[in-house]
C-alpha cells in the first residue's frame, strides 16, 4: 500500500419499486426477496475516509458534527468488514455529508453505506469489482447494495454473501422518470428499517408478499423496458401497499402512513385515472410519499401537491448514476 490512505466517494440515495422487507439472514442482510430501484441523482452522500496507523479508534463526523455513539458503532462495524476483506489493520476517520438535510425523513442509509464502502476501499488503494462493492455495501444497509451500480438497479436476493448483490438493469437515461417526494413529516421514525426487517416474518402476510415478489419484479422490469407507465404504476403501488400491509400486521405492528400520506396516495390515483397524469406512489418505512412520474408531468404533480396542503415540502430527483470516486472534496 502506498502512503496515500485517503479516499472520497459519492453515492446516491435510491427509491425501490419492488421493496426489500425482511431477511433470510439478518447478520449478512440476505433479503427475503429480490428488489429493484432507481438511483436518485439529486440526493446524495459524500464520504471521506482516512485510514491511519496513528488512530487508536474509528471516528465519525456527519455534516460537520461529531456523531452519536450509535451511528459510530454501526459505521465502525462496517469498517471492520472492510478491514477484514482488505486485510488492513488501521482505524479510520470518517467524514460524511448529505446534500439533503438530515431529518427530512428521506432515508440516507443507502447512500451513506454505499459511499462509505467505496471511499474506504479507495482510501486503502484497493480495487474491488462493482459486484463485490455492492455485496459489501449490503452488509451495512441492505438498500445500499442498490446505490453502488448505476441507474435502475436490481438486487438479486442470493443465499450467500457472494450471490446477494445489485447490478444495473438499465441505465439512468433509459427512462426519464422523476421522483417528486412529498415530505410531510421530518420526525425521526420510532422504528427504523433495521428493527422492521427483524419482525417482518411475524406477519402472516409476509410469505404471500415474498412468494409473489418475483412475479411483480418481472412485471416492473418489463414495464421499465417498454417504458409502459400504466403497467408500471399498477405494480409499483401494489408492491408498496403489500409491504405496508406486512408492516401493519407484524408484531408489534408498524404504522408508517399518516392521514396526509393516504390523502396523497388517493389523490395520485385520481390524477392518473381521471386526468391522465402519468404518476404513481410508493412509500418506504416512513410517511413521506414518493410520487414517481414521467418528466413531462413533473411540474403538474408538484403544483397539485402544493395545492393539497401547505405543510407538504417537496424535493424532486431524476434517475441517477451509481457511486463514484470524487477528487478535491472536503
Ligand atoms: O436498507 P434498509 O435496511 O434501510 O431497508 C430499506 C427498506 C425500504 O426502504 C422500506 C425498502 C427498500 O427496498 O428500499
Q: pLDDT of 5-39, one tens digit each?
A: 999 999 999 999 999 999 999 999 999 999 999 99
Give the residues across from 317 on adjacent strands: 179
| Cell numbers standing for residue 201 | 416474518
Give the mean model confidence (pLDDT) for residues 240-265: 97
pLDDT in tens, 145-204: 999 999 999 999 999 999 999 999 999 999 999 999 999 988 777 788 888 999 999 999
Say if residues 196 and 21 touch (Cβ distance below 8 Å).
yes
Would you place residue 329 in the very low, low, confident or very high pLDDT band (cuts 50, 70, 90)?
confident
Element (H, E) at 14: strand 6-18
Best residue for ligand 1 mutational test, from 16, 33, 283 (most atoms within 8 Å of Cβ): 16
* Cα(94) to centroid(ligand 1), Å: 23
The position carrying cell 411483480 is 216
> Does 232 score more than 80 pLDDT?
yes
* Cα(288) to centroid(ligand 1), Å: 14
Distances (CA, A) of 322 to 40, 118, 312, 319: 9, 11, 29, 10
CATH number, residue 79: 3.30.230.10
Ligand 1 pocket residue status of 35, Cβ below 6 Å = yes
Ligand 1 pocket residue status of 285, Cβ below 6 Å = yes
- Give the separation between CA 91 and CA 52, rounded to whole angstroms: 6
Ligand 1 pocket residue status of 109, Cβ below 6 Å = yes
The position carrying cell 425523513 is 105
Would you place residue 296 in the very low, low, confident or very high pLDDT band (cuts 50, 70, 90)?
very high
Does residue 301 come out as left (phi exceeding 0), alpha (psi in the -120 to 50 range) or beta? alpha
Share of the chain above pLDDT 70, in %: 97
Residue 19 backbone phi and psi in degrees, to 5: -85, 155
Across the beta sheet with 279-282, the strand order is 279-282, 289-294, 177-183, 313-318
User: What is the domain count for the chain?
Assistant: 1
Q: List, in sequence order, the alpha helices (H) in 33-129.
A: 69-86, 109-123
Q: What is the mean pLDDT of the chain?
A: 95
The pLDDT of residue 81 is 98
> Does 101 score more than 80 pLDDT?
no
* Cα(296) to centroid(ligand 1), Å: 28
Would you place residue 4 in the very low, low, confident or very high pLDDT band (cuts 50, 70, 90)?
low
From the list 123, 39, 100, the residue with the least C-alpha distance to 323 is 39
The pLDDT of residue 3 is 61
* Cα(162) to centroid(ligand 1), Å: 20
Ligand 1 pocket residue status of 39, Cβ below 6 Å = no
The pLDDT of residue 23 is 98
Ligand 1 pocket residue status of 254, Cβ below 6 Å = no
Residue-by-residue DSSP string for 223-280: HHHTT-HHHHHHHHHHHHHHHHHHHHTSSS------HHHHHHHHHHHHHHHHH---EE
Nearest ligand 1 atom to the CA of 284 is 10
Would you place residue 121 in the very low, low, confident or very high pLDDT band (cuts 50, 70, 90)?
very high
Ligand 1 pocket residue status of 88, Cβ below 6 Å = no
- The CA R_g of the chain, rounded to the nearest whole Å, is 19
* Cα(113) to centroid(ligand 1), Å: 12
Best residue for ligand 1 mutational test, from 32, 43, 142, 181 (most atoms within 8 Å of Cβ): 142
Does residue 185 come out as left (phi exceeding 0), alpha (psi in the -120 to 50 range) or beta? beta
Nearest ligand 1 atom to the CA of 143 is 1
pLDDT in tens, 65-92: 999 999 999 999 999 999 999 999 999 9
Residue identifier of the C-alpha nearest atom 8 of ligand 1: 284
CA atoms within 13 A on the CB side of 147: 36
Give the mean model confidence (pLDDT) for residues 33-62: 97
Best residue for ligand 1 mutational test, from 38, 152, 181, 285 (most atoms within 8 Å of Cβ): 285
> Does 222 score more than 50 pLDDT?
yes
**Structural domain span for residue 202:** 1-330
Say if residues 92 and 51 touch (Cβ distance below 8 Å).
yes
Ligand 1 pocket residue status of 282, Cβ below 6 Å = no
Would you place residue 316 in the very low, low, confident or very high pLDDT band (cuts 50, 70, 90)?
very high
- Give the separation between CA 136 and CA 21, rounded to whole angstroms: 19
Strands 59-62 and 91-98, sheet pairing:
parallel
Say if residues 21 and 246 touch (Cβ distance below 8 Å).
yes
Nearest ligand 1 atom to the CA of 19 is 13
Amino acid at each position: 500500500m502506498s502512503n496515500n490512505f485517503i479516499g472520497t466517494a459519492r453515492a446516491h440515495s435510491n427509491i425501490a419499486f419492488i421493496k426489500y422487507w425482511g431477511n433470510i439472514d439478518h447478520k449478512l442482510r440476505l433479503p427475503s426477496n429480490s428488489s429493484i430501484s432507481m438511483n436518485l441523482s439529486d440526493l446524495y452522500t459524500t464520504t471521506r475516509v482516512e485510514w491511519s496507523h496513528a488512530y487508536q479508534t474509528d471516528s465519525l463526523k456527519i455534516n460537520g458534527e461529531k456523531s452519536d455513539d450509535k451511528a459510530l458503532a454501526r459505521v465502525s462495524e462496517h469498517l471492520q468488514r472492510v478491514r477484514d476483506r482488505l486485510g488492513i489493520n488501521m482505524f479510520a476517520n470518517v467524514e460524511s455529508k448529505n446534500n439533503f438535510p438530515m431529518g427530512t425523513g428521506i432515508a440516507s442509509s443507502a447512500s451513506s453505506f454505499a459511499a462509505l464502502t467505496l471511499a474506504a476501499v479507495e482510501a486503502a488503494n484497493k480495487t474491488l469489482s462493482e459486484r463485490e462493492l455492492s455485496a459489501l455495501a449490503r452488509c451495512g444497509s441492505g438498500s445500499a447494495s442498490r446505490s453502488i451500480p448505476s441507474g435502475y438497479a436490481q438486487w438479486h436476493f442470493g443465499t450467500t454473501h457472494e450471490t446477494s448483490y445489485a447490478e444495473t438493469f438499465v441505465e439512468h437515461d433509459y427512462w426519464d422518470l422523476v421522483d417528486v417526494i412529498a415530505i410531510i413529516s421530518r420526525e425521526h421514525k420510532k422504528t427504523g428499517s433495521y428493527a422492521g426487517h427483524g419482525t417482518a416474518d411475524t406477519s402472516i402476510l409476509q410469505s404471500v408478499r415474498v412468494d409473489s415478489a418475483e412475479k411483480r419484479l418481472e412485471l416492473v422490469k418489463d414495464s421499465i423496458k417498454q417504458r409502459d407507465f400504466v403497467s408500471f404504476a399498477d405494480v409499483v403501488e401494489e408492491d408498496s401497499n403489500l409491504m405496508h400491509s406486512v408492516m401493519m400486521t407484524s408484531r408489534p405492528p408498524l404504522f408508517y402512513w399518516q392521514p396526509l400520506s393516504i390523502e396523497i396516495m388517493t389523490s395520485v390515483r385520481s390524477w392518473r385515472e381521471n386526468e391522465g397524469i402519468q404518476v404513481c406512489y410508493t412509500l418506504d418505512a416512513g410517511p413521506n410519499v414518493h410520487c414517481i412520474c414521467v418528466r413531462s408531468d413533473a411540474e403538474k404533480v408538484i403544483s397539485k401537491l402544493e395545492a393539497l396542503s401547505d405543510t407538504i415540502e417537496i424535493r424532486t430527483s431524476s434517475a441517477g448514476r451509481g457511486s463514484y470516486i470524487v477528487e478535491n472534496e472536503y
